[in-house]
Structure 1
């Protein structure tokens, strides 16, 4: 999974999530609301507001928007610092208006939640903490320092102190709650999006490898006849050129090079042929192919295959699908990585079901994450023991997420469990004491459809 970790790091290189146009549109909406509120409060309800200073504060937002529209293209995406400064400006402008219009006696003071919520959704944690702390400081200051709201006759609008304190407390709690809530939801959405993209890249890579193996194998098959002809003719020339050693040596060279071409093509085409052989294989062959990259990693991998009670003794031919192979390969990799010395891969079948079970003799899944296995980026940091067990591995939960996603799309139901109680003493544990992963398919989802006339003839390469 190291290449997928590298791909993920490339995806996460920059946080440019926010378009400038989005914040400009939101600011125009805020400006329209502020102007409407000032007009209604002063004209309809007769409040004596400092219209000059309030107009100056609103005008600052108008000028800032006009400058942004003029200086930058609409499709500009803001960097972390640029988005933070934009939201900081909006928070400061709102703080000035709150100070001018009664502090927390102004019900629109609750709008300080908006910049913090936006920051929690799109910016890094440190930026959100800074804006949230500043917003709490602003509403706290507004509790004590503000210009009071007065009617046209000079009478001050009085609000009970208990109500003002309750309003302050609700805003502070709102900043904390909405900030945390928005942050959590946005983080999970981004993680899922990035993990799905990593899954698509993994599947595309597996598909390319499968296609390449098929093309190479088909080329080896098609070139077999001309190479055999060249070898036969060169052998006859060697016999006929018995008295001409120089020409005979050239004929031997032709034969040797033909043998070399045959060997190269045979080695490159081990995966099969680009015909119906490539599309289906016995269950045992597919499982061994999925596990093959991890068989020489110092752990013993045991295979066992057999029918269930109502199953046929003959192994089913299943579809040799890249998504299934890649998903199973990730599960085997996880088992080999965490096993002490041994991994068991079992395949069972019946008329209606196909079951694949992978067990190891390791410590099993940690109790703290077993309920979240299959989610992306479950593990944000690696411990020293993890590094010793899996050197060079950038584990973030992506491997199991990719496996789970690919196999579930193929129709499998996956379950994750531990083979035994992880708190048992080592001497009391059975041999199969580690993690158990089981994938169950309906037979119709995985078994290759019957083909009239068998596998058929190999098809020549077009072009």
Structure 2
């Protein structure tokens, strides 16, 4: 990541990140496939029971054509839900029309509109109203209405035995079974659809929250970049003036003043280094290209650099015994680690242990300190802006920036308070994101 702003805020088109209607249709088609398997089993069982148990002669061969056709539809639909990320409304409409056609065929062979199972058309209409856009739902109503009317004119009457009393008892029993079938299927279906809608709403809410947070970071990044540009010129002027002073014989003769100028020069150089780091993170490197290094060497440089800068905390790197992959020495990742060291110092820790591991294509860096640990409120809202117990203005942005930087790299941040005491933060990032294109394991330094 050579530019934090570039990666962190390159969200792309909202249509690429939000859950599209076509993606929802894919899940709904998968649900229809599951319900259709139940329908196929129920149709076959009903035909066999009516013919062999109840003694009502029906054309078994022709009736079984419908469930056989639905099996074919399912076998076509399953690969679509597996290979494609989106299903159109038209394809979902065709799937429902296949169910309507199968039902119409079976009703045509079993009494037409006098069959109590004709009420199953209502189930198809409800499914269409829930799953389809209004235009397609109204079209489905027209289709089912025409099928119902057609069955009243064209059908094959059932040959009911005389012992069934003219079929009234059968009609009542069939109506009860149809009602129970519709009720059970609707409960199953609506429950699953509700779960899908809740998952979609939760995802959209999370996307909106991330967009808000990233917009917040963009504003801070632009402010920091602008401030870095403004500070560059006065820092360069101070550096030149200090260099001139250090060469003046009158000033060089004063040992105390010479020592003070050396300290001032070191601090100016440090400020210039900070400004350079800010500009590099914003994609405006000041003539410095990212360098390739190895994981352990990079972590060791960060730890040693921090130790030289602040002696209040001791940073220790756990010995590394595995292969040492090559990575890009990213300034942003260096700043992320510095944020954690800063937090440890402010919390009162005096020792931080850094433990890197690489497994399953991911780099995990665990930082554990001997401080008091994280407050419960901070752990609950990890990654939210201004999530801190400090009273000073602007506090609480460190972990917020850290979480979003790691998230932009496709990684995650976890924080906890181990039972042994202190605080622990785990950074997990795909190693390919940090590695150069031609990556190979380096030698242990």
TM-score if structure 1 supplies the norm length?
A: 0.40
Q: Which has the higher contact order (CA 8 A, sep 6+)?
A: 2
Larger helix fraction of residues: 2
